[in-house]
Structure 1
């Protein structure tokens, strides 16, 4: 008979090859804090419901607290032969207390609801860290000086110069995108913030569990009420991966602009020296490697999303080992996304834009031709389609002469020949890229007033998200502190029911049933 904790049914042990193929201890290291916290909450509930004797609950809590202290010191090591974090901790408790006492810890629980609960607890931390990192990057983008409101850049459509914009306009655009990522992360947090603990293997249990108590001890906002759904669901992981992939894509789009614009042909922006490297053979080179890697590593998060969707699509309800293949890929996506957010924030702080070069490109690329069309509509009464045709004819004629809109004398001559004369002084004004940027006063436009209005809205959103982040972290910290407080007091001899009831009165309340409140 095998000596595995599940070994009663088996006459021989798995081979070393099978163990190495199936074990998860290398990726479960991140879940140790969650598994220990969950074990403590579960044992507190078992004792309060008299499912296990109080003396056993007290002893198990003492053993778990000793393991917690080892973990805090970085001295708790998972043993591969014990397969996963759950069996490791249970075996450590049994080795400490003996099976007669430690063997009670796994009562009314399965690795199926354990792993889902652990993963949800870990993802809550990740989502909060990602919200924090996004807000820090948004703050960098929004902290531009007043002169950036009229620091000119060409705006692009179809990768060709379109209309003039400003550095402030560009930065607020990316800040706006990133705040949608924050909203997605908050939504993913909400779906992860549902306790699966107590669902057991898939069908619940005959023991009189208090799932709401364990959910509150673990800081969850809701209980995922259906046992089969609770142990089967992986959509909360996939939703998280989707949020990371979309966020990485948004970072990649900003990086693409920085890579292009830092090249000599554009010369619109220079990245800080600390975020670039040189060439091994070409001494003149300054390569924007952080921006390039930001583009490339977006592929990791996109690949993780596809892998998780593929992994889950053919798995029926009820746990299957296919599902344990989620974490190696997801952990990599998490590390990639968080590290990219943080390094992009540092790079953004040091970006140096060349407004003079931006203005030159706007002049040379006819970026204000639309302003002539608008002038002909508003001052000459032309239909826009006719004004558009006249402006296009002017551009065509100037290109044939090898000239640009800077040549206002030629422009006035050509327009007169087209039957729509405009004074040269007027053309000099409306063709100026700064005039165009200033004149777009519509909500969300390029004018300094419009950009400042948007910046105010975005900063208000940052403050609201920041309050939510602080309150949510405080909720988790409160639950964690109170759970360990109750465990320590009971382990030291305090009456279990009285102590736990007092602590439970201070725990954060649930938001409600997940089945009822989750959209």
Structure 2
């Protein structure tokens, strides 16, 4: 006869290979704290609704509190023979107080609603942690932008020289991207922080349960009322991993620029020695391995997204064991993103952008000639297409004589040949990289003034996000403290 808690209809125990293939205790270890908290809230509700008698409630309360504090000191080691975290916790309680009392905890619930409740509780906390990490990164990028507002950088399109930009403009571009990522995380939190406990196996229950109470005690924002949907819902995981994947793609774009700009040929970024490695054979090498690894690890998170989408598309309504595979990929996506945000943050704050090198490149690569074309339109009233042709021909002629836009005498002579009268000082003022940047005053432009306006707005948005994180954490902490306080009272009945 099987000794499993679910074994009433079985004549023999599960095959060992089947157990090894199906048990999830290694994966479930992250859920222990949340499974105990969920059981506490469920028990408080059973007591409030008078579904379980006071003496059993008191005994179960003491056991749950003991398990909770024991796990806080030293994480409980789950027994694979009990298959998962839920049966482990229930078994430990029954071992402590016996089946007569301990066997009542699982009244009006199922592992089907337990597992998705635990996962939502764990994921929402990790979303807050990730949001905190992004905010720290954003704040340091904003500081770098403020410190370098007016310093020169090179802007590229197609990885070809385009226009000179303000270094603060470059730093703040990633702030702009990461702020959208924070918004995505907030959306993921909203979809995640919904209570499914009480859906039971799939059809609800005939017991007079109070789902509003467990929602409050577990810190959820709302209830997913439809029980059939609730037990099989994993779209919140799809949304979260999708958000993670987009963040990783943004980190990868930053990493690619770090790798390219730090190369000898560009020489625009100096990476701190602590964030590079050398070659086992070539003594001169300083390899930007962090950037390369961030780019490589994007594939893990993209892979997790494709896995969960593939699982989700192939299941019927109601719980299916396919869904056991949601957590390994979710855990890995979370861990990969957390480490990638942290290491990218540290690398950026220790790297030095070489603005003097950028200034030299801007002169040599003709990236200010667009401003000369604009001047011909504004000052001489030449149609832009004609101005574009004149300036393009100028670039070709300067290239042929191995010169650049600092050859003001040549430019002056060339323009005069095209019946354009500009002084050498006007030409120099027009094509000087620093002066070009100063003139880009349009909203969202690269001038120091335009960037300063954007930074002010970004600081305000960051403060709003930090306030949201703090308030969300306070709500969760209050909910947990309330649940524990209720259990302490119930334990003394």
Shorter-chain TM range is over 0.9
What SS is found at the alignment partner of 1:359?
Answer: helix
Greater CA drift, 289-298 or 111-120: 289-298
Q: 1:144: Cα distance to partner?
A: 2.0
Greater CA drift, 282-291 or 152-161: 282-291
Q: Which residue does 1:514 correspond to in 2?
A: none
How far, CA to CA, are the matches of 1:82 and 1:397 in structure 2?
A: 79
How far, CA to CA, are the matches of 1:480 and 1:413 in structure 2?
A: 78
Q: 1:75: Cα distance to partner?
A: 4.5
What SS is found at the alignment partner of 2:317?
Answer: coil
Say whether residues 1:205 and 2:224 are aligned partners: no
How far, CA to CA, are the matches of 1:458 and 1:434 in structure 2?
A: 24
Structure 1 contact 269–354 (Cα < 8 Å) conserved:
yes
For structure 2, which runs of at least 5 residues remain unmatched after alignment?
A: none
Structure 1 contact 248–301 (Cα < 8 Å) conserved:
yes
Q: Which residue does 1:220 correspond to in 2?
A: 220
How far, CA to CA, are the matches of 2:357 and 2:372 in structure 1?
A: 22
Q: Which residue does 1:123 correspond to in 2?
A: 123
Q: 1:422: Cα distance to partner?
A: 2.4
Structure 1 contact 301–336 (Cα < 8 Å) conserved:
yes
What SS is found at the alignment partner of 1:143?
Answer: helix
How far, CA to CA, are the matches of 1:233 and 1:385 in structure 2?
A: 57
Q: 1:147: Cα distance to partner?
A: 5.5
What SS is found at the alignment partner of 2:278?
Answer: coil
How far, CA to CA, are the matches of 2:410 and 2:284 in structure 1?
A: 40
Q: 1:421: Cα distance to partner?
A: 3.4
Q: Which residue does 2:336 correspond to in 1?
A: 336
What SS is found at the alignment partner of 1:177?
Answer: helix
How far, CA to CA, are the matches of 1:481 and 1:342 in structure 2?
A: 30
Q: Which residue does 1:406 correspond to in 2?
A: 406
Q: Which residue does 1:231 correspond to in 2?
A: 231
How far, CA to CA, are the matches of 1:75 and 1:278 in structure 2?
A: 40
How far, CA to CA, are the matches of 1:426 and 1:302 in structure 2?
A: 52
How far, CA to CA, are the matches of 1:129 and 1:479 in structure 2?
A: 18
What SS is found at the alignment partner of 2:209?
Answer: coil
Structure 1 contact 117–195 (Cα < 8 Å) conserved:
yes
Say whether residues 1:303 and 2:336 are aligned partners: no
Q: 1:346: Cα distance to partner?
A: 1.3
> Where in structure 2 are the equivalents of 1:398-437 lying within 5 Å?
398-437=398-437
What SS is found at the alignment partner of 2:420?
Answer: coil
Q: 1:235: Cα distance to partner?
A: 0.4
How far, CA to CA, are the matches of 1:242 and 1:144 in structure 2?
A: 29
Say whether residues 1:256 and 2:256 are aligned partners: yes
* Structure 1 residues 71 and 360, CA gap change in structure 2 (3 angstroms): same
Q: Which residue does 1:497 correspond to in 2?
A: none
Q: 1:492: Cα distance to partner?
A: 2.0
Structure 1 contact 195–222 (Cα < 8 Å) conserved:
yes
Q: 1:296: Cα distance to partner?
A: 1.0
Q: Which residue does 1:285 correspond to in 2?
A: 285
Q: Which residue does 1:380 correspond to in 2?
A: 380
How far, CA to CA, are the matches of 1:368 and 1:182 in structure 2?
A: 35
How far, CA to CA, are the matches of 2:45 and 2:235 in structure 1?
A: 28
Structure 1 contact 108–198 (Cα < 8 Å) conserved:
yes
Structure 2 contact 259–292 (Cα < 8 Å) conserved:
yes
Q: Which residue does 2:25 correspond to in 1?
A: 25
How far, CA to CA, are the matches of 1:80 and 1:149 in structure 2?
A: 58
Q: What count of residue pairs does the alignment treat as equivalent?
A: 493
Q: What do residues 146-188 of structure 1 show as CA deviations (whole Å, max 9, x unaligned)?
A: 5512221110101111000121110000011000000000000
Q: 1:420: Cα distance to partner?
A: 2.5
* Structure 1 residues 108 and 2, CA gap change in structure 2 (3 angstroms): same
Q: Which residue does 1:499 correspond to in 2?
A: none
Q: Which residue does 2:457 correspond to in 1?
A: 457
How far, CA to CA, are the matches of 1:212 and 1:178 in structure 2?
A: 35
Q: Which residue does 1:269 correspond to in 2?
A: 269
Q: Which residue does 1:112 correspond to in 2?
A: 112
How far, CA to CA, are the matches of 2:426 and 2:299 in structure 1?
A: 50
What SS is found at the alignment partner of 1:155?
Answer: strand
How far, CA to CA, are the matches of 1:376 and 1:318 in structure 2?
A: 69
Q: 1:43: Cα distance to partner?
A: 0.6
Q: What do residues 116-157 of structure 1 show as CA deviations (whole Å, max 9, x unaligned)?
A: 100000011011001100000001100026551222111010
How far, CA to CA, are the matches of 2:113 and 2:323 in structure 1?
A: 13
What SS is found at the alignment partner of 1:101?
Answer: helix
Q: Which residue does 2:85 correspond to in 1?
A: 85
Greater CA drift, 287-296 or 109-118: 287-296
How far, CA to CA, are the matches of 2:321 and 2:409 in structure 1?
A: 76
Structure 2 contact 145–171 (Cα < 8 Å) conserved:
no
What SS is found at the alignment partner of 2:148?
Answer: helix
How far, CA to CA, are the matches of 2:115 and 2:146 in structure 1?
A: 51
What SS is found at the alignment partner of 2:144?
Answer: coil
What SS is found at the alignment partner of 1:144?
Answer: helix
What SS is found at the alignment partner of 2:149?
Answer: helix
Greater CA drift, 276-285 or 152-161: 276-285
Q: What do residues 84-110 of structure 1 show as CA deviations (whole Å, max 9, x unaligned)?
A: 000000011111111111000000001
Structure 1 contact 137–345 (Cα < 8 Å) conserved:
yes
What SS is found at the alignment partner of 1:165?
Answer: strand
Q: Which residue does 1:154 correspond to in 2?
A: 154
Q: Which residue does 2:47 correspond to in 1?
A: 47
What SS is found at the alignment partner of 1:149?
Answer: coil
Structure 2 contact 145–169 (Cα < 8 Å) conserved:
no
What SS is found at the alignment partner of 2:156?
Answer: strand
Q: Which residue does 2:176 correspond to in 1?
A: 176
Q: Which residue does 1:441 correspond to in 2?
A: 441
Q: 1:62: Cα distance to partner?
A: 0.7
Q: Which residue does 2:139 correspond to in 1?
A: 139
Structure 1 contact 150–166 (Cα < 8 Å) conserved:
yes
Provide the TM-score with structure 2 as the length reference.
0.98
Structure 1 contact 397–414 (Cα < 8 Å) conserved:
no
Q: Which residue does 1:67 correspond to in 2?
A: 67
Q: What do residues 324-347 of structure 1 show as CA deviations (whole Å, max 9, x unaligned)?
A: 101111101100101111121111
